[in-house]
């Protein structure tokens, strides 16, 4: 592979000025954006942890053919392979590169397409600091190249083209706020942010373990030819000292302006622009935008990411750590990228911002910066996961409280939004995610040594059939159960959320050497069936959403609430679009089927028949129920233990 990488580097631009976008785009047709991103089902994957192309059996390629010939990694068998290695060995293997790559993703497009995925969100592909353990991709050393662990730029272009032929769009994870650990402070010291002080820099790093041996400034390759391509930072424009804030690591993650100007741990903060620093006006996003002064690095980053659209034909960006950037910088970038994408025919190029800090903050930033959707709103996965497990209430439309999952979307007026549609188009819903900010210890939904796995169909049902653009986290479809079982240490806890689909040294279920691309897995098949219904039933994608009152007896309809902090009952909701209604329900009781009447729209559903379109109890599918004249109109439905059902009019 080294010869391939070396030859590829011969064509990599050293400066932004060398990029010829006119040549890249000349007489080239670009893949169009979807009419509405609510129609899409996203799937996030870590390149290093997804596929290495050696998996044998259990899945088919894009042509529908079995793929076992010449491959060495067998399919995981829960009865024989569970916990086939000790935890410490397994955990240590997960802290560094494991071997997944871009061509492995290409190899699994059939697996993804048949599951119902219509857009893949790739972890960052960019070249990382040499000899680092930044398998996650967020420690960039060259913004214009692909890390050789993942492949080459042409591999990325090939993957995107193949995905488009399969009807799958590609969203690229990008970083505007920081680069990798590309320079060292004086004497390789770890400085902590203090009152905006700028600290002295020793020099750029030649590798992750270098103490800053390269002078801090533009590099003359006549004097230091070895600096290209693996040392310091590239392209050349990022080598100016003024590109970097140099204010040390963030200590107080809610401290303003510390969380804007400090280094994100060891990753070095980029100086994209300035705005008022008075903490008293930190809430005033519009003032900060209006008084924002752009610095040159922001233009450099715009040129970088216009290049990736032109070169690879990607369909959207997920923007990392939006909270840690001035809103004015986000707004400028959003305008530039949207305009450029539209010039190529991508009228709805999607920008998804990772915005931690609560729903109201995310709503405010989205509206004022022009990004399209928010990801990382912490109360969504918390309330979704715990509702599915019976540990959170679903909500109550009769109160203004924001206690339950359905409350988050119902009370749009509290977030200054005019209707449900805002939430449908601008919120990406996800659980099992790879950060779990603020959660300690970290663990997957189907965590080890509990009965949580049985509630996974409920979480899948909530994620795929409630408001928002659904995103599945890789491995969830195989019931991954990574859990940090350490009791006295929390460093690297997020490693347990990032197991390898291809097995390798760090497979889920504390295993090694077994892959997990099993198209017969019950959760994979459930997702497949729900995605098929999302395609057939428009309300599941775009409909208004109403939590429905239910009744065990004909004369008493109510919204179920937790009792002593626990809910073991049916929760139901409707999605309505124009004159169409679809009813969904979950049962958080893992032991008993529960039969209830579920309220439906009286104006639409009088004298109609509803048919079970999906159930976790297979023999229910196809059964019909008549609309009864109760609470206006209602249907009598039995929801299996720890089950999920979908009904629609015949």
What pLDDT shows up at residue 643? 98
- Its domain, for residue 590, covers 542-649
The answer to whether residue 489 sits within a structural domain is yes
My answer on whether 173 and 310 are in the same domain is yes
Quote the strand ranges of 243-291, DSSP E.
273-274
Is residue 287 helix, strand or coil?
Answer: helix
**Residue 18 carries which DSSP code?**
G
My answer on whether 516 and 575 are in the same domain is no
What pLDDT shows up at residue 377? 73
What pLDDT shows up at residue 521? 98
My answer on whether 304 and 435 are in the same domain is yes
Of 499, 531, 563, which marks where a domain is finished? 531
Taking CA 373 as the corner, what is the angle to CA 155 and CA 293, rounded to the nearest 5 degrees? Answer: 90
The answer to whether residue 230 sits within a structural domain is no
Residue 305: how many other CB atoms lie within 10 Å: 22
Cβ pair 488, 36 in contact under 8 A: no
What pLDDT shows up at residue 6? 40
Of 531, 553, 569, which marks where a domain is finished? 531
The answer to whether residue 537 sits within a structural domain is no
The answer to whether residue 397 sits within a structural domain is no
My answer on whether 524 and 595 are in the same domain is no
The answer to whether residue 288 sits within a structural domain is no
Cβ pair 44, 121 in contact under 8 A: yes
Interval 113-150: pLDDT, tens: 999 999 999 999 999 999 999 999 999 999 999 999 99
The answer to whether residue 616 sits within a structural domain is yes
CA-closest candidate to residue 621, choices 514, 529, 554, 523: 529
What pLDDT shows up at residue 420? 59
Give backbone dihedrals phi and psi of 185, rounded to 5 degrees, phi first: -70, 170
What pLDDT shows up at residue 409? 81
Q: Look up the pTM and report it.
A: 0.95
What's the maximum distance between 2 C-alpha atoms anywhere in the chain?
A: 86
My answer on whether 527 and 548 are in the same domain is no
Interval 309-326: pLDDT, tens: 999 999 999 999 999 999
CATH of the domain at 58: 3.20.20.80
My answer on whether 124 and 58 are in the same domain is yes
Rg (CA), the chain: 25
Tokens 């009370």 belong to 411
**Residue 437 carries which DSSP code?**
T
What pLDDT shows up at residue 17? 97
The answer to whether residue 187 sits within a structural domain is no
The answer to whether residue 75 sits within a structural domain is yes
My answer on whether 513 and 565 are in the same domain is no
Of 485, 502, 531, which marks where a domain is finished? 531
CATH of the domain at 615: 2.60.40.1180
My answer on whether 527 and 546 are in the same domain is no
Number of domains in the chain: 2
My answer on whether 46 and 122 are in the same domain is yes
My answer on whether 569 and 493 are in the same domain is no
What pLDDT shows up at residue 554? 85
What pLDDT shows up at residue 69? 81
My answer on whether 58 and 142 are in the same domain is yes
User: Which portions of the chain are predicted below pLDDT 50?
Assistant: 1-9, 418
My answer on whether 40 and 64 are in the same domain is yes
Q: List all residues 6 or more positions away from 27 whose beta carbon is below 8 Å from its beta carbon.
A: none
């Amino acid at each position: 592979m080294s010869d391939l990488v070396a030859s590829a580097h011969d064509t990599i631009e050293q400066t932004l000025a060398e990029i010829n976008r006119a040549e890249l785009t000349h007489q080239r047709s670009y893949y169009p954006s979807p009419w509405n991103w609510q129609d899409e089902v996203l799937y996030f994957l870590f390149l290093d942890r997804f596929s290495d192309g050696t998996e044998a059996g259990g899945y088919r390629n894009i042509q529908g053919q079995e793929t076992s010939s010449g491959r060495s990694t067998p399919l995981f068998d829960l009865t024989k392979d569970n916990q086939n290695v000790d935890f410490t060995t397994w955990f240590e293997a997960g802290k560094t590169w494991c071997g997944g790559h871009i061509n492995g993703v290409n190899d699994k497009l059939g697996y993804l397409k048949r599951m119902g995925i219509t857009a893949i969100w790739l972890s960052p592909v960019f070249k990382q600091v040499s000899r680092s353990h930044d398998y996650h991709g967020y420690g960039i050393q060259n913004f214009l190249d692909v890390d050789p662990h993942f492949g080459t730029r042409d591999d990325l272009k090939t993957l995107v083209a193949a995905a488009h032929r399969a009807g799958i769009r590609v969203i690229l994870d990008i970083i505007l706020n920081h680069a990798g650990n590309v320079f060292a402070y004086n004497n390789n010291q770890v400085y902590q942010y203090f009152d905006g002080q700028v600290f002295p820099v020793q020099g750029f790093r030649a590798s992750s373990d270098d103490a800053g041996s390269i002078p801090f400034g533009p590099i003359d390759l006549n004097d230091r030819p070895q600096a290209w391509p693996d040392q310091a930072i590239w392209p050349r424009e990022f080598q100016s000292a003024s590109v970097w804030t140099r204010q040390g690591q963030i200590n107080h993650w809610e401290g303003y302006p510390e969380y804007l100007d400090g280094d994100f741990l060891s990753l070095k903060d980029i100086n994209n622009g300035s705005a008022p620093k008075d903490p008293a006006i930190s809430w005033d996003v519009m003032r900060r935008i209006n008084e924002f002064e752009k610095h040159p690095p922001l233009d450099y980053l715009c040129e970088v990411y216009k290049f990736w659209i032109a070169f690879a034909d990607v369909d959207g960006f997920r923007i990392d750590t939006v909270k840690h950037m001035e809103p004015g910088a986000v707004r400028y970038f959003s305008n530039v990228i949207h305009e450029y994408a539209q010039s190529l025919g991508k009228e709805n190029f999607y920008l998804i911002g990772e915005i931690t800090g609560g729903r109201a903050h995310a709503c405010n930033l989205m509206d004022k910066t022009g990004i399209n959707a928010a990801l990382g709103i912490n109360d969504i996965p918390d309330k979704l996961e715990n509702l599915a497990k019976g540990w959170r209430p679903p909500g109550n439309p009769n109160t203004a409280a924001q206690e339950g999952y359905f409350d988050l979307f119902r009370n749009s007026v509290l977030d200054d939004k005019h209707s449900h549609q805002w939430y449908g188009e601008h919120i990406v819903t996800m659980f099992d995610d790879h950060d779990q900010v603020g959660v300690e210890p970290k663990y997957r939904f189907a965590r080890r040594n509990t009965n949580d796995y049985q509630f996974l169909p409920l979480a899948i049902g909530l994620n795929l059939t409630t408001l928002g653009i659904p995103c599945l986290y890789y491995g969830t479809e195989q019931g991954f159960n990574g859990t940090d079982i350490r009791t006295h240490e929390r460093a690297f806890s997020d490693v347990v959320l990032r197991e390898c689909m291809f097995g390798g040294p760090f497979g889920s279920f504390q295993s090694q050497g077994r892959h997990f691309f099993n198209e017969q897995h019950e959760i994979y098949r459930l997702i497949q069936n729900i995605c098929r219904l999302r395609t057939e039933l428009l309300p599941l994608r775009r409909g208004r959403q109403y939590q429905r009152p239910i009744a065990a007896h004909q004369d008493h309809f109510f919204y179920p609430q937790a009792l002593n902090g626990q809910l073991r009952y049916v929760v139901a909701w409707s999605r309505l679009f124009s004159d169409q209604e679809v009813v969904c329900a979950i049962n958080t009781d893992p032991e008993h089927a529960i039969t209830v009447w579920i309220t439906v729209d009286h104006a639409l559903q009088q004298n109609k028949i509803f048919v079970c379109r999906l159930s976790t109890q297979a023999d229910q599918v196809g059964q019909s129920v008549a609309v009864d004249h109760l609470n206006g109109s209602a249907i009598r439905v039995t929801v299996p233990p720890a089950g999920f059902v979908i009904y629609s009019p015949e």
